[in-house]
Amino acid sequence: MELYKMMAYKIKKQRLLVPLIFSLPFSVGAVEITHSPFSSFVNDSHADLSLRNVFKNLSTEDYGSRSNQTAWGQGVTLDYRSGYFADMLGVDASYYGVVKLAASDDFWGRNVLYNDNGTAKGFNKVGQLYLKARLEEGDSYLRMYSGWQQIYKWGALTNSTRAIPSTYQGWRGEAGTGPYRVRAAWVTRYSDRDSPDKIHFRTADKKTISSIGTGEVSYQNNGHSALWFFGESHHYMQQHGLELGWEPAALADHQLKLGHQLYMKHGLEDWTRMSDRSKAFDKNAYHAAVDARWRADRWKHKVGLSYTRARLSNGLGRFDWHIAKHSRTTFNSMADSWGNDYIGDNEKMVAWTFGYAVMPEIELGMVTNFGWGMKYRDRKINRGETLVYSRWSPSTPELKNLTVQLSGGPSWNYQSEHNRPKLTPDGKPMRAQNHSIELQVDYKFNLF
């Protein structure tokens, strides 16, 4: 019934583009065009159908009374990628849909289903529709993209995924030669992973932000990598990021990779004017992290440490990594974990994630974090989590594009309200006991 309702939505004008775009390759699928500027545009076109079934449940006390958040949805993604006209110009498009399967009253916290004034609903939309252009010569290139598109780890911007991914409206470009690369992007609107709406960026106190601009410079060669990025939401916030990596050749058999991340936030005029109830830190915030990952036989490991400084005069500050409300910002520290975000003021964190290949197709693992060092009114605050996961990726030809992952476990945090910990009658921060379970099933079909 829910699928019928979704398909019965009133057709919008933009949706009339979808049959046209996706019918093009099918109508010429039996014909190979040669000796024409259109030959690569048609012959190199392809389309994929991806299905993602997501069940997420979280029982949490983070904001006081216990909230049981459950959302179950079936995501559908239809991706079309054209070749290039005259080896220079092309067009890509994606159509997204989510079917509601089940939801609790507090479903909205899981970011799977559309929150229509408190009612959980499925939805569909044209998620991507953009023009692309390129110039390439040897190992040098220039590429441009303009329209609604996914932006993943591109300068300060990235996207997020549940049943479907989030997208931005704007342009992005990159140029490179050899080990060097420069990237930039400018965006004006956003469409989230759990909504058909296409909205403007906003401040924490819900004022409109006109645009976000970002750029990056990177180098990668012989096991060494370095990346610096800068991003700014107009009149609101700036973010700098430095990421370094090293893969020692002497330990190549163990695939050892060492990483370092350093991020800095700086609030602009629209940030500093907000009250402490809205902002996460006074004016500047910093986060530093290191990590190491390696493999040994059937085992894989990743360990990390981090430290955050984010002072807030009348509360407990945190490094709020999103550069604006309704956006996602690049953040590759292990402090961004499955249960909690270990980015409180003066918080230190240690993390360990490991996986073991029980069979070539089955992996079992654990994620564990512990954070300490935060204080509120001279009271110490610690938090942590231990979650386990299992992943099945069959290798048989019929199921080679299938992945099933089940994860869950307990975590503990502190209860908060308006950037301040909630306190017991004797002044101690109140503990939040949480637990979660998630199931995700992915399957992908290549249509042509």
* Close Cβ partners of 242 (under 8 Å, ≥ 6 residues apart): 226, 227, 228, 260, 261, 262, 263
Q: In the predicted model, what is the mean pLDDT of the chain?
A: 92
Q: What is the pLDDT of residue 104?
A: 95
The single residue listed with the structure tokens 């069979």 is: 359
Q: What is the pLDDT of residue 25?
A: 43
pLDDT tens-place string over residues 392-415: 999 998 898 999 999 999 999 999
Query: Is pLDDT above 50 for 316?
Result: yes
Q: What is the pLDDT of residue 3?
A: 38
Query: Is pLDDT above 70 for 35?
Result: no
pLDDT tens-place string over residues 356-390: 999 999 999 999 999 999 999 999 999 999 999 99
Query: Residue 157 burial by CB count (10 A; 0-12/13-18/19+): exposed, middle or buried?
Result: buried
CB-CB contact of 20 with 14 (8 Å): no
pLDDT tens-place string over residues 424-441: 999 999 999 999 999 999
Q: Which CATH fold topology does 2-348+442-446 show? A: Porin (2.40.160)
pLDDT-based confidence at residue 126 (cuts at 50, 70, 90):
very high
Q: Is the dihedral of CA 220, 221, 225, 230 positive or negative?
A: negative
Q: What is the pLDDT of residue 32?
A: 58
The CA-based dihedral angle spanning residues 248, 254, 255, 258, taken in that order and rounded to the nearest 10 degrees: -50
pLDDT tens-place string over residues 214-257: 999 999 999 999 999 999 999 999 999 999 999 999 888 889 99
Q: What is the pLDDT of residue 147?
A: 98
pLDDT tens-place string over residues 155-194: 999 999 999 999 999 999 999 999 999 999 999 999 999 9
Phi, psi of 42 (to 5 degrees): -85, -50
Dist CA 85 CA 243 (whole Å)? 37
Domain coordinates of the chain in residue numbers? 2-348+442-446
Dist CA 418 CA 413 (whole Å)? 16
What is the C-alpha radius of gyration for the chain, rounded to an integer number of angstroms? 23
Percentage of the chain modeled with pLDDT above 90:
85
Among candidate residues 266, 418, 240, the one with its CA nearest the CA of residue 329: 240
